[in-house]
Amino acid sequence: MSTKRPGLTLTELIVALIVTITLFSFAVLWLRQPRTYYDRTHTLNNLKQMALACHNAQDIYRRLPPAWGPCADAPAGSATVHYHLLPFLEQETLYKTYSPSATVPPFVALYDTKEQGGIQNFAANLRVFSKLGLDTPYNVDIAFGDPSDATTWDTGDGAAQLPKSFEDGTSNTILFATRYSNNLGRPLWPGAPNCSAYDGKPYYENGAFFGSVAARSPADNSTDGIPTFQLAPQPTSVDCGYSAFAHSYDVRSLLIALGDASVRSIAPALSPETWNRALHPKDGRALGEDWND
């Protein structure tokens, strides 16, 4: 008398395989969530520290540091706002020695995984930290000078004061937003990022700034339509564009710090009109209802 060996049928095997793959997928997602949450929290914390440093700088200098230029008796002389904020971020040694290739922990977002000294992942809003930006209407591009003559490029000294210059309210004005350090499709600068360096001048492609152009369209991965910000760009499509754009690290939102030192996210659907108003501290126009979406 013959007997059948116990085993799985083909159908049962396929079902078991599908269940295993599904459970594995859920496990991967579950394991990724803590890391993603930590990266986001770390980024928001550093953004907040940048904004608080501005308030502390205001207390000492009686104004905000310039996007580029001298500030008090800074050892480096003319430098970026990021450099001038170093002593208010517990980076006094680097402030005194000034090493443009150094890795500065408060300047780094963990979302940007490229190991590169000198990066600044928290770009500064030129409509706040540049007198030229402050004096330019909210919906007009900032004119740095003659594009063909570098000797005319200038952003003007810093003139903004907290809260005096923020006539529209500190909670309605963006100070900093996230930005990628490099575009991997372009040659890397020796010892420095090619897109967002903490010592990069505002009118250079590696300046850690945004807001030089007025937005014409909502956030997008492409910058052809002059969006509010570049939405989750691929490593080879990051737009370094002469201090034009901030970059979101995912498709859901852009992380920002405001003039009152609060931090929040901005939805990609935010209108260019509301975005442009939020960049200018004294344009005299209320933010759109989509600001609270």
- Give the pLDDT confidence score for residue 185 in this predicted structure: 85
Residues 175, 50: contact at Cβ < 8 Å?
Answer: yes
Rounded-to-integer distance, Cα 85 and Cα 91, Å: 9
The whole-angstrom separation of Cα 45 and Cα 171 is: 17
Residues 6+ apart with CB under 8 A from 120: 82, 104, 107, 179, 181, 193, 196, 197, 198, 200, 208
SS (H, E, C) the chain: CCCCCCCCCHHHHHHHHHHHHHHHHHHHHHHHHHHHHHHHHHHHHHHHHHHHHHHHHHHHHCCCCCCEECCCCCCCCCEEHHHHCHHHHCCHHHHHHCCCCCCCHHHCCCCCCCCCCCECCEEEEHHHHCHHHHHCCCCCCCCCCCCCCHHHCCCCCCCCCCCCCCCCCHHHCEEEEECCCCCCCCCCCCCCCCCCECCCCCCCCCECEECCCCCCECCECCCCCCECCECCCCCCCCCCHHHCCCECCCCCCEEEEECCCCEEEECCCCCHHHHHHHHCCCCCCCCCHHHHC
C-beta of residue 168 within 8 angstroms of C-beta of residue 280:
yes
Spatial strand order of the sheet with 254-258 comes to 209-210, 122-125, 174-178, 254-258, 263-266
pLDDT at 216: 97
> What is the predicted pLDDT for the residue at 53?
98
121 and 176 in contact (C-beta within 8 Å)? no
Contact 127, 281 (CB under 8 A): yes
Contact 216, 225 (CB under 8 A): yes
In whole angstroms, give the CA distance from residue 205 to residue 186. 12
Which pair of structure tokens corresponds to residue 249?
A: 């690290």
- 10-residue mean pLDDT profile of the chain (293 residues): values are 57 71 57 65 96 97 94 91 96 93 92 80 96 94 79 78 95 97 81 86 89 96 96 93 92 97 97 98 95 90
Contacts of 52 (CB under 8 A, 6+ apart): 88, 261
